[in-house]
Amino acid sequence: MSEFEQKVLKLLEGIDSKLNKLLSLGTASSTPVQATITPSAVSSPAPAIVRPSAVVDKQEMDEKIAEKPPVGGRRTCSKCSGTSFNAVEDKKQILHQMGGVKIYAKKYICRSCGTEA
């Protein structure tokens, strides 16, 4: 999360705490003033009060959803759309070496067209 987003979240939390104090005290300034009811206003529902904490919670849930990696399906070739691959050791990438034994990374080569995936 960027520095700007953190500052915005802190400001929203501060506003939320102040709003909670005002709502708990029940002051006249925090209660909405009812206007005269017109026939058009009766047909439309009154707008619900949206609390800043709900906005912050929704943003956090959206971030958690965005952080989850997409579900990986079957590996497919970019050229021929084949799904069968040979796993070959990639000698250019050494993952681990102990006592002269090297463990290499794997690269996948399409069986039908030979493209690396």
Q: Which pLDDT tens digit goes with each residue over 2-33?
A: 888 899 999 999 998 888 888 887 655 545 55
- Cross-strand bridge partners of residue 26: none
Q: Where in the chain are the domains?
A: 3-67, 73-117
Query: From CA 96, how far away is CA 45, in angstroms rounded?
Result: 65
H or E element, residue 105: strand 101-110
- Quick count: other Cβ atoms within 10 Å of Cβ 115? 14
The overall pTM is greater than 0.75:
no
Query: From CA 67, how far away is CA 28, in angstroms rounded?
Result: 43
pLDDT at residue 85 tops 90: yes
pLDDT of amino acid 50: 66
Average pLDDT over residues 61-85: 80
pLDDT of amino acid 30: 45
